Structure 1
Amino acid sequence: MTDSSSRPTTVYGRPVTTDGVPNLYEGTAVAPWTPPAPGIDNLGITSVDTFAVPGVGEYTVDFSGYVRVVRSEPTSEEWSSAEVYTNLIEMKMVGECAELGRITVTLNPDCLSTGQIRTPFDPYAGEGPAAKACRMAVGAIFDMPKLGLRLANKEPIILTIDDVRQIPPAGSPGKGQIYRMLPLHDVQRLDDSPVAYVTSLRFTMGGYTTVEAMAAR
C-alpha cells in the first residue's frame, strides 16, 4: 500500500507489512505452543452463513474458498506472553443455493481487515501453556448476481477462534460475532437502508493450501 490513493479508507486495527514476508503454502510445518516468524498464511476455509433478504427469505449457504493472512513479528519468543497482529489481505469464498444463486465473498478494498492473536486474561489459569484467542474485524463484499445485488457490510464482521494452540490455527472452528443480524448495504448506495442481513456465520479455518487450489476458485 505505497500509493496513498489505493489505501483503505476504513482501518479496523493495526496494519501489518507484507514487505519481505514469505508466502507459506501446503507442506509448511506448524509447531504448537510456539510463536512463529512472520509469514503470509495461504489457508483453505469453509463457512456456513445464513442470509436474510427482505421479500425473498432466509437461507443458509455452504461456502468454501481460501484466505491469505499476513502475520506480524511476535511480541515475544515465549508463547505465554506473545501477541501476534494479523491483516487479512485476500479472501475468496464461493457458495450457492437455489434461491440466492451463486454468491462470491471477497474482501472490501476500502477496508483494512485486521486482527490479533493473544492470550486472554484469566486470573484462574493453572500451570502449563494457555490457549490463545484469535479475532479479526473484516470488511467484505457479497456478490449475488442472481438477485442483482452487490453488498457490503459497514459494521465489521468479527471473526473469532478460541482455544488457539498453534499459529496459524488451522483446523480450528470459529464463529462470527453477530448480534441477531448484520446489515448488508448496496455498494452503490451505502447510506441507504440495508437490503439484506447476515444472521449467522460459522467457519472452520483450514490448513495450508496450494497455489493451484487457490487459482481454481
Structure 2
Amino acid sequence: MSEKKTLLGRPVETEGVPNLYEGSPVVKWKAPEPGIDNLGLHSWDTFAIPGVGEFDVEFDGYVRVVRSPATDEEWAGAEVYTNLIEMHMTGASEELGTITVTLNPEYLSAGQIRTPFDPYAGEGPAAKACRMAVGCMFDIPKLGTRLFNREPVILTIDDVRSIPPAGAPGKGQIYRMLPLYDVRTPWDEPTAYLTSLKFNMGGYLPAERFQ
C-alpha cells in the first residue's frame, strides 16, 4: 500500500487473503476470518454541473473489499478494518451519456466496521456501523473529461448485523456539495459537484464476473 500518495485510513494486508465469491456464507452476529469480498453494488447519484444543470444517475457494478482479522473473536468487541481494492460502476444519463466510476489509484480508500458507543444499549448483540472514505475517478466522455474528488466520499452503513453487510442500504455522507475536479486542471475551480449518493450493498458475485 506504500505506493498510494493519500491514505484515507489504515492499510489492510491482501497477501494470502482468500477471495470470497457467490456461495460464501454470511453469518449474523459473527466476526469472520479475513477475506476479500467480491460484492455487487447499486447506487443513485446526483451531479450538479455549474451552468448546465443537475442530473440523477443510477449506477450498477461491483466492489472488491479486503477485510482485516477481527480485533476480537466475539462479535461484541470485534472491529474490522477494510480497504477498497477495486470498484467498477457504470451509469447512463441522457444528458451526460455513460459515466464510469472507478477508484482513484493514488488514494487508499479505507474504512472500518465497529460497534458505535451507546450508553443506553441493552442486552443482546448490538449492530455495528460501517464507514469507508473513498477516492473516486468519474469518466464522463460526453463532457470530454475525467473528474476526481479531493475530499473523500464517506460511505456509511448503519445497523450492520453481519460482515460483509450484504444487502444493506447505505448513504454517502456529503455536506451539501462535494467538489469534483478535472484531472487536467486539478487546481482550477471544480467542474462539477456530487450532491447526493445513496447505495445498496449487494451480495457475493460469481467468480466469473471478475475473470
On whether the aligned pair clears a TM of 0.5, the verdict is yes
Matched, 1:36 2:25: no
User: For residue 153 of structure 1, what is the aligned residue in structure 2?
Assistant: 149
User: For residue 143 of structure 1, what is the aligned residue in structure 2?
Assistant: 139
Match of 1:121 among 99, 117, 124: 117
Match of 1:185 among 181, 185, 192: 181
Distance 1:174 1:181 in 2: 18
Structure 2 counterparts to residues 83-102 of structure 1, below 5 A: 83-102=79-98
Helix, strand or coil for the counterpart of 1:116?
strand
User: For residue 173 of structure 1, what is the aligned residue in structure 2?
Assistant: 169
TM-score normalized with structure 1 length? 0.96
Structure 2 counterparts to residues 13-32 of structure 1, below 5 A: 13-32=9-28
Match of 2:75 among 69, 76, 79: 79
RMSD over aligned Cα, in angstroms? 0.9
Q: Is the 8 Å Cα contact of residues 65 and 214 (structure 1) preserved in structure 2? A: no
Distance 1:211 1:77 in 2: 28
Distance 2:179 2:26 in 1: 37
Q: Is the 8 Å Cα contact of residues 37 and 73 (structure 1) preserved in structure 2? A: yes
User: For residue 207 of structure 1, what is the aligned residue in structure 2?
Assistant: 203
Q: Give 1:160 deviation, angstroms.
A: 0.1
Distance 1:214 1:92 in 2: 11
Letter in 2 for 1:207: G
Distance 1:9 1:165 in 2: 33
What 5-or-longer segments of structure 2 have no aligned partner? none
Higher deviation after alignment, 188-197 or 97-106: 188-197
Q: Give 1:213 deviation, angstroms.
A: 3.0
TM-score normalized with structure 2 length? 0.98
Q: Give 1:211 deviation, angstroms.
A: 2.8
Q: Give 1:214 deviation, angstroms.
A: 4.2
Distance 2:201 2:210 in 1: 15
Q: Is the 8 Å Cα contact of residues 66 and 214 (structure 1) preserved in structure 2? A: no
Helix, strand or coil for the counterpart of 1:212?
helix
Matched, 1:54 2:50: yes
Deviations 1:29-73 (A, max 9, x none): 111000000000000000000000112210100000000000000
Q: Give 1:212 deviation, angstroms.
A: 2.6
Distance 1:71 1:135 in 2: 13
Match of 2:60 among 54, 57, 64: 64
Distance 1:96 1:149 in 2: 16
What 5-or-longer segments of structure 1 have no aligned partner? none
* Identical counterparts, % of pairs: 71
Count, aligned residues: 211
Helix, strand or coil for the counterpart of 1:36?
coil
Deviations 1:136-171 (A, max 9, x none): 000000000011110000000000000000000000
